[in-house]
Structure 1
Amino acid sequence: MMIILKSKKRQPHQTEKTIQILKDKLRERKIKSKIIVLENIEVFLNEKRVVMKINNWIPSKRSPVYFRIAERYKNASYIFSKYLEMKKVPFIDNYHTFTRERNKLIQMFLLAIKGISIPKTYYSPAYDSRKIRNAARFLKFPVVIKLTEKERGEGVFLAKNAVEIKRILGKNKGQEIILQEYLDNDFDYRILVLGHKTKLGETRTRTNKREFRNNACVGAVEEFFPAEEVPSDMKKISEQSSRIMNIQVCGVDIIRSRKGKIYVIEVNFSPGFTLDEKMDELNQTADYLKKWHEKKY
């Protein structure tokens, strides 16, 4: 059985007709085929398991996939093709396995397939009531909703029930969105990693009791501490994450749960620097760039 993966997004009549004719031509050649819609993909991520489903179809080696997808869904195509690659399912074209994107969706997927501890994450290119129910069962409430292209705390919401999820999704139609489990915390960590080595740590503590985000730009208080004081488990996971993302200068955001387990929340490839008196982040970055420059020149 060959799978033809297409988009539900309205296509020109000729495109739809072409796909149907292709299906007929395959049947003439004694090849069974099935058309599957990309928007129906559901992605379930955590460090122990990565699962993708399309309705009741789960990819298998006996069902090669032909991508017939619009550019609009390049990120969804990328993670699906990498999943097929991981499961050793043949597909065409290999073009879909390449991307320069490192947004929140791509990050969570790449970290999860390498076994990095992340919050449980759910994604679909198009949400509906059934998918919201599936996400809620997987994540439990409250649920964190993130617009994947936003940064510095923007486009991040907390939903306490399905009605709130629908309302937030409705206000952000057309945006790529992931849903994540909420990890209860009082503060989080930002680990500055330069050249895949931990150079500085900080805690970010929110001061507004009605706020759940720990971003400095929404009022969180930052306290810096030297690399020697960064816990060993945080050093290890931060450096691993920077290598997986292939980012030389990054800030790795981490939450330690109430039970003591650490989770990577995000790998910031252009971390903001605090302009305080010590300017620790800028000094560390300048030192790293100086050494890098000396090696190159």
Structure 2
Amino acid sequence: MTTDRRPLAVLTSRVRVEERLLLAELRKRDIEFEQVDTRAVTFSLDGAASLPYRGALSREISHTRNAYASRLLEHAGVPVVNSSRVINLCGDKLLTALALREGGLPTPRALVGLVPDSVLDALDGFGYPAVVKPLTGSWGRMGARLRDHEMAEAVFEHRAALPGPQHQITYVQEYVDKPDRDIKAYVLGGEVVGAIYKISETNWRTNTALGGRTEVCPLTDDLVKLLTATAEVIGEGVLGVDVIEDRDGRMYVNEVNHTPEFHGAIEVLGTDLVGAYVDYVVGLLDERDAA
């Protein structure tokens, strides 16, 4: 165990159940930490060495603030979990999909246009139903299941009117016919620590934020192999991996979350996911100090 008593920076803005649980675990272990609100902190590029932190645990909910805060801390020599590289990769669904495909992992078929209109005609050959997603975001927000050309035309018209160039990038996946459930798995440093089913009989989006319920998902050899390979592609860190099964049991990696929620998982898994999270972060910093 390290003798470094410098505090751990915990990056937050909105404090959810997950952040409260992690902070409580740090207090229980007498681990020195400072909760850093990313909306209030500033960084001096010239005074980088003055930052008093041993490391940082990022639980910032804003992708943009998360990416920049983690990179600024790294510039100052402060290691961050997760790293800015992992945050930038996982925070963009298209970049994640490209990395997974380049790693040879199964992902849903996809179609991308740099403006919404360019995708509309191509979708007729791609096939309906399909799902359009924002490049960044969580909880299934701003995603839509497109049933036909007419519906796609209406949705793309609204997307074209959204401000910001990133909204114009139109990322469409095939709709995978699934058994009313998705898999959410938790991988810490390449080790699979648990998985749950997110289930909804009434909504094609199974997110717990939208009313989905959770059950334990068995860790089969095939699932563990897929999750381990996903972590190898994405990189070292705390990852929430979303997997979709089709009706024949084929599995596809859908998304990878770099700041995963887990309150629904700890209610059913029966494992100390919060403790494992803190063990991983502290162990990573100990290894760095010992190197």
In 2, the alpha carbon distance for the partners of 1:281 and 1:177 equals 35
One of 205, 229, 233 as aligned partner of 1:213: 205
One of 109, 116, 126 as aligned partner of 2:115: 126
Aligned-partner residue type, residue 156 of structure 1? G
- Give the 3-state SS of the residue equivalent to 1:117 in structure 2: coil
Q: Is the 8 A contact 1:247 1:269 kept in 2?
A: no
Residue 200 of structure 1: CA displacement?
0.8
- Quick one: percent identity of the two aligned structures? 23
Residue 260 of structure 1: CA displacement?
1.5
Q: Which runs of 5+ in 2 are unaligned?
A: 1-86
Counterpart in the other structure of 2:177: 184
Q: Is the 8 A contact 1:142 1:158 kept in 2?
A: yes
In 2, the alpha carbon distance for the partners of 1:164 and 1:281 equals 41
Counterpart in the other structure of 1:252: 241
Residue 281 of structure 1: CA displacement?
3.0
In 2, the alpha carbon distance for the partners of 1:243 and 1:201 equals 18
Whether 1:264 aligns to 2:257 is: no
In 1, the alpha carbon distance for the partners of 2:113 and 2:215 equals 37
Counterpart in the other structure of 2:281: 289
Structure 1 segment 1-297 matched on structure 2, within 5 A: 100-102=88-90, 103-128=92-117, 131-138=119-126, 140-173=127-160, 174=162, 175=167, 176-185=169-178, 186-207=180-201, 209=202, 211-224=203-216, 229-274=218-263, 280-297=272-289
Greater Rg over alpha carbons, structure: 1
Over the aligned positions, Cα root-mean-square deviation in angstroms equals 2.1
In 2, the alpha carbon distance for the partners of 1:274 and 1:212 equals 21
In 2, the alpha carbon distance for the partners of 1:268 and 1:239 equals 15
Residue 145 of structure 1: CA displacement?
0.8
In 2, the alpha carbon distance for the partners of 1:200 and 1:101 equals 23
CA, structure 1 residues 283+142, in 2 after alignment: closer, same or farther (shift >3 Å)? same
TM-score, scaled relative to structure 2: 0.61
In 1, the alpha carbon distance for the partners of 2:254 and 2:228 equals 14
Q: Which runs of 5+ in 1 are unaligned?
A: 1-98
Residue 280 of structure 1: CA displacement?
4.0
In 1, the alpha carbon distance for the partners of 2:272 and 2:200 equals 21
Residue 101 of structure 1: CA displacement?
4.2
CA, structure 1 residues 161+251, in 2 after alignment: closer, same or farther (shift >3 Å)? same
Q: Is the 8 A contact 1:119 1:265 kept in 2?
A: yes
Q: Is the 8 A contact 1:121 1:178 kept in 2?
A: yes
State the number of aligned residues: 192
